[in-house]
């Protein structure tokens, strides 16, 4: 779908997948005026295809657009774009296990000019790709790499928006994480108090021995739809939930004292990934056990959410949206 200042959103179309041309002077290539979303389509046993809380992705894309000076795509148009794309050929939504069709809506500033101001022409597009299970051989804990040197976002910046630039900033510390045998990088905030923020592509939740879930509150992290949903499901199951500032020391000391018994990362791609060990340049920052098995709360929440997404459980909150008929 195209957008211009004069005409607003217009010319919605579906075209075969392939390279499209972008002028070398397009704003997105120089100033990073780009945002995106990520969600999945799931096929049920009866053949129908559903997605999870697309209204939340639409709303987050509107917030991201606001921050990046891009136009707002109405929620109905966002959801309709997914419905049309998935509906082209239902056979491309995989069946079985934890397979899904990953959907990637994105918006780029494609006005041709050199100068730092918001572009006046924009393209919104959605691409899709079949995705297999994140853990084909069972849910295994991952190690994560603490970055004290690099920040992902700062106060007043774009941390809460889902824009490409945030991910560009996380690539170097992510390389460092991979080189140290870790799956993701853990970012702290800029306060100097070592407050937890999030991972390169997932939010973090800690589980206390009394069943309380604790998750970092910050203006500069991505408000994960998976995290919000899991916390609401946990409340339904009787867990207390604390959404507040959490320091690295609280996590480390809580693990040492037995007060914190599980930790997991969550996001659309992996649903829930148990966190085993925290590794770091400074040995004093490292803790946890890379081989610890996934804990019961982590596994129960993971099962509850995947059962809902694949239509194996009731949907009391009305979170599932049907994209195609059975
Ligand atoms: N934080 C970051 C930086 C992410 O990229 C993601 C993945 N979109 C998340 C958190 C989790 O968000 P969600 O649950 O909406 O996928």
DSSP per position, 233-263: HHHHTT--EEEE--BHHHHHHHHHHTSEEEE
Cβ atoms < 10 Å from Cβ of 81: 21
Q: What is the pLDDT of residue 40?
A: 97
Q: Name the pLDDT band for 250 (thresholds 50, 70, 90).
A: very high
Q: Name the pLDDT band for 133 (thresholds 50, 70, 90).
A: confident
Q: Name the pLDDT band for 272 (thresholds 50, 70, 90).
A: very high
Give residue-wise pLDDT tens across range 142-163.
Answer: 999 999 999 988 889 999 999 9
CB 193, CB 221: distance < 8 Å: no
CB 218, CB 189: distance < 8 Å: yes
Establish how many alpha carbons lie within 13 A of residue 142's alpha carbon, considering only the half-sphere containing its beta carbon. 23
ipTM for the whole complex: 0.99
Q: Provide mean pLDDT across the span 100-112.
A: 97
What's the rounded Cα separation, in Å, for the pair 140 and 29?
38
Q: Over pLDDT 70: what percentage of the chain?
A: 100
Protein fold of 2-131: D-amino Acid Aminotransferase; Chain A, domain 1 (3.30.470)
Cβ atoms < 10 Å from Cβ of 118: 15
How are beta strands 184-188 and 287-288 bridged, if at all?
unpaired
Q: Name the pLDDT band for 280 (thresholds 50, 70, 90).
A: very high
The residue whose CA has the least distance to atom 5 of ligand 1 is: 201
Question: Measured from the CB, is residue 274 less than 6 Å from ligand 1?
Answer: no
Give residue-wise pLDDT tens across range 8-50.
Answer: 999 999 999 999 999 999 999 999 999 999 999 999 989 999 9
Secondary structure class of 137 (helix, strand, coil): coil
The residue whose CA has the least distance to atom 10 of ligand 1 is: 202
Residue 295 scores a pLDDT above 80: yes
Q: Counting beta carbons within 10 angstroms of the beta carbon of residue 161, is it exposed (0 to 12), middle (13 to 18) or buried (19 or more)? A: buried
Q: Where are the domains of the chain?
A: 2-131, 142-294
Q: Provide mean pLDDT across the span 212-230.
A: 97
Q: What is the pLDDT of residue 59?
A: 98
What's the rounded Cα separation, in Å, for the pair 222 and 7?
31
Residue 84 scores a pLDDT above 80: yes
Long-range contacts at 165-169 (CB < 8 A, ≥ 24 apart): 165/32, 165/34, 166/222, 167/200, 167/201, 168/32
Q: What is the pLDDT of residue 192?
A: 85
Q: What is the pLDDT of residue 94?
A: 84
Question: Measured from the CB, is residue 301 less than 6 Å from ligand 1?
Answer: no
Q: What is the pLDDT of residue 282?
A: 94
What's the rounded Cα separation, in Å, for the pair 124 and 184?
29
Ligand 1 centroid distance, CA of 223 (Å) = 7
Q: What is the pLDDT of residue 326?
A: 85
Question: Measured from the CB, is residue 231 less than 6 Å from ligand 1?
Answer: no
Residue 87 scores a pLDDT above 90: yes
Q: What is the pLDDT of residue 66?
A: 98
Residue 206 scores a pLDDT above 80: yes
Question: Measured from the CB, is residue 197 less than 6 Å from ligand 1?
Answer: no
For the domain bounded by 142-294, which CATH number is listed? 3.20.10.10
On the question of a common fold for 2-131 and 142-294, the answer reads no
């Amino acid at each position: 779908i195209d957008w211009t200042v004069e005409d607003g959103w217009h010319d919605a179309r579906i075209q075969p997948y392939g390279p499209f041309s972008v002028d070398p002077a397009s704003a997105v290539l120089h100033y990073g005026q780009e945002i995106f979303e990520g969600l999945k389509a799931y096929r049920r046993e009866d053949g129908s295809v559903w997605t999870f809380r697309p209204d939340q992705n639409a709303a987050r894309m509107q917030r991201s657009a606001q921050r990046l000076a891009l136009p707002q795509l109405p929620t109905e148009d966002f959801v309709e774009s997914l419905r049309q794309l998935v509906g082209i050929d239902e056979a491309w939504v995989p069946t079985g296990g934890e397979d899904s069709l990953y959907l990637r809506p994105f918006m780029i500033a494609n006005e041709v000019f050199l100068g730092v101001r918001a572009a006046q022409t924009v393209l919104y597009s959605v691409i899709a790709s079949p995705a297999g299970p994140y853990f084909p051989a069972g849910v295994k804990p991952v190690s994560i790499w603490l970055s004290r040197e690099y920040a992902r976002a700062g106060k007043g910046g774009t941390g809460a928006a889902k824009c490409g630039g945030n991910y560009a900033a996380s690539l170097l510390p992510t390389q460092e994480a991979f080189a140290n045998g870790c799956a993701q990088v853990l970012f702290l905030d800029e306060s100097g108090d070592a407050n937890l923020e999030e991972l390169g592509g997932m939010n973090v939740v800690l589980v206390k021995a009394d069943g309380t879930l604790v998750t970092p509150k910050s203006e500069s992290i991505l408000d994960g739809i998976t995290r919000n949903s899991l916390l609401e499901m946990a409340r339904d199951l009787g867990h207390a939930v604390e959404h507040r500032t959490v320091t690295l020391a609280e996590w480390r000391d809580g693990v040492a004292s037995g007060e914190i018994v599980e930790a997991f990362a969550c996001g659309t791609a992996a649903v829930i990934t148990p966190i085993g060990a925290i590794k770091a340049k400074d040995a004093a920052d490292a803790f946890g056990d890379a081989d610890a098995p996934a804990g019961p709360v982590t596994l129960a929440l993971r099962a509850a959410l995947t059962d809902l997404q694949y239509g194996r459980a009731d949907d009391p909150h009305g979170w599932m949206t049907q994209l195609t008929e059975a």
